[in-house]
A and B are shown apart, each in its own frame.
Chain A
Amino acid sequence: MSFRACSLQDLTPGEGLRIDSVQPPIAVFLTEEGTVHALDDTCTHQDASLAAGWVEDCRVECPLHESTFSLETGEVDQPPAKRRVRVHSVEIDGDDVLVELSQDAPNLPPGVTA
């Protein structure tokens, strides 16, 4: 069951947008190459918004520490984060960005609950 997360117009190439109408919040990214991705917004190491991170080569670097997550698979490349973030399916319908949330359990950092 998908929902409308945002409009394409809300997105800036190379940046993320935090959507906190769902719990845990998700981040929608528009890459410089024009692809759209949706991930859990919270880093798995510490409570930080990945939407504020640095997007490059289809990965997002957590703004706090140096772990980067694949926008396609959610896997993490290096510590301090050790667990992947969930990736959600994205469908574009006209200007609407439709997201279907993953059914997996989220990997949230200590102290953060969905």
Chain B
Amino acid sequence: MIIDHLDAPVPGSSLHPTLTGEAYTSAEVFEREQQEIFEKMWNCVLRADSIPSPGQWKTVTVGREEIIVVRTRKAGIKAYHNVCRHRGMRVCTSGDGKNKTLQCGYHAWTYALEGELVAAPNLTSMPDVDREQYGLKSVAVREWLGYVWVCLSDADQGEQPPSFEETVLGEVRTSFGAVESIDNYGIENLRCGESKTYDVAANWKLIIENFMECYHCATIHPELTEVIPEFADGLASQRANGEVHGASFGEQIRGFTVDGSDGVTEFPSIAPDQERKYYAITVKPQVFINTAPDQVIIHRMFPVSESRTIVVCDWLFLPEVVERVDAGELDVSKSVELFHRVNLQDFEACEQTQPSMSSRAYRSGGALVPSEHHIGEFHSWWTQRVEAGSAD
């Protein structure tokens, strides 16, 4: 058995067990994660406004599959496997483009933006070919928070996508609670003022575990701890039972910026409780949402291998803020710099941790202190998902 069961912690003990090192280094475990987690759950893949007009498309990798996400003329945003139904060549051979149809470059099988096969050499003399049946294989799509989310559940195997309402919206609403509603931030109407991509030489779970706790904050995040002094107590915004705690700004702090100086225009409809606070949640398996009074920071993770993860981080602001930045009238670099530094600091720690995961000194894992015990909830969830696959 490659996945060791978590030992139940001794009641009252300070230290709880982590996963074993192998969970972060085994290619076999990673393949099972792709199959049972990333290819079955909802993944947040790109900003809807990055493909604003009909015919614009981008390719994204989800699990072991390459997916085309395209804005159609008639049916909103759709997503397909990037596999020609004829002989299998990649239909789209670059990362993005704009076309009237999606055409394979091998034998010119041509698909409408809406997916069906519309033309192919000699197709008119093959009247038995069903244009829908031989259309591109579609995957489920939802738009939420201004992002395109896809789910690769395999319809051919009788799988249905898990309920978006329960698995994504439910997780977010539960975390944010009824009062501190995430809806107050109007995230779907914000615009992206900055986006950075980080190529991190670490397993995706190390990045999630890092994000879930703040025991490390006082040591590696001096700027963040200056803005949010309470993080020095080691308690993160994320707590046990999936609850989220609004972490208060320091008394002298004027904004969520690298030096605590003024931020930009605040969101008009946040609650008084949210005005000088930072909240963070994890939407399993690959999204982090961070909110401040004037910016929302969204991380999307794309695991590449057991030891490499691409993380895309977007900084969202009110549309008028981004317009003023584009016009050269406003500078948001101090707002962006705070979490960019946090990202670099976190990812360096993860990269310095990854090599030890294969050390015999970490063979049976490490320890979680009380302020990290809620990471055990993530580990239990992970064990359940991955073991479900091994039962197949």
Contact = CB atoms under 8 A, between A and B. Distances in A.
Contacts of A65: 108
Contacts of A48: 119-121, 123-124
Interface residues of B, number: 13
Contact of B101 (A20, A41, A46, A54): A54
Interface string A24-54: 0100000000000000011000111100111
Contact of B124 (A42, A53, A61): A42
A92 interface: no
Given A54-B100, A63-B110, A49 B119 contact: yes
B252 interface: no
Contact of B123 (A20, A49, A53, A111): A49
Given A54-B100, A54-B101, A63 B119 contact: yes
B100 A61 contact: yes
Nearest to A41: B124
Contacts of B13: none
Contacts of B124: 18, 20, 25, 41-42, 47-49
A47 B125 contact: yes
A48 B125 CA distance: 10
Interface size class on chain A is 10 to 19
B108 A64 contact: yes
Interface in B109-124: 110, 118-124
A111 B123 CA distance: 13
Contacts of B100: 54, 61
A110 B120 CA distance: 15
B125 to A, nearest CB: 7
A54 B99 CA distance: 11
A63 B99 CA distance: 11
A46 to B, nearest CB: 5
Contacts of A64: 103, 108, 110, 119-121
A47 B119 contact: no
Contacts of A63: 101, 110, 118-119
Contacts of B110: 52, 63-64
Given A61-B100, A65-B108, A52 B121 contact: no
Interface string A64-82: 1100000000000000000
A64 B106 CA distance: 11
A22 B224 CA distance: 75
A49 B127 CA distance: 12
B118 to A, nearest CB: 5
A47 B101 contact: no
Contacts of B123: 47-49
A20 B101 CA distance: 24
Given A63-B110, A65-B108, A52 B119 contact: yes
Contacts of B101: 54, 63
Interface in B51-104: 100-101, 103
Nearest to A46: B121
Nearest to A53: B119
A53 B112 CA distance: 10
A52 B118 contact: yes
Nearest to A64: B108
Interface string B122-133: 111100000000
B105 to A, nearest CB: 11
A18 B119 CA distance: 13
A41 B101 CA distance: 19
B75 to A, nearest CB: 15
Nearest to A48: B119
Contacts of A25: 124
Nearest to A45: B121
The 6 closest A-B pairs by CB, nearest first: A63-B119, A52-B119, A52-B118, A64-B108, A54-B100, A47-B122
Given A61-B100, A111-B122, 8 more contacts: A18-B124, A47-B122, A48-B119, A49-B124, A52-B110, A52-B118, A54-B101, A64-B108
20 contacts: A18-B124, A42-B124, A47-B121, A47-B122, A47-B125, A48-B123, A49-B123, A52-B110, A52-B119, A53-B119, A54-B100, A54-B101, A61-B100, A63-B101, A63-B110, A63-B118, A63-B119, A64-B119, A64-B120, A64-B121
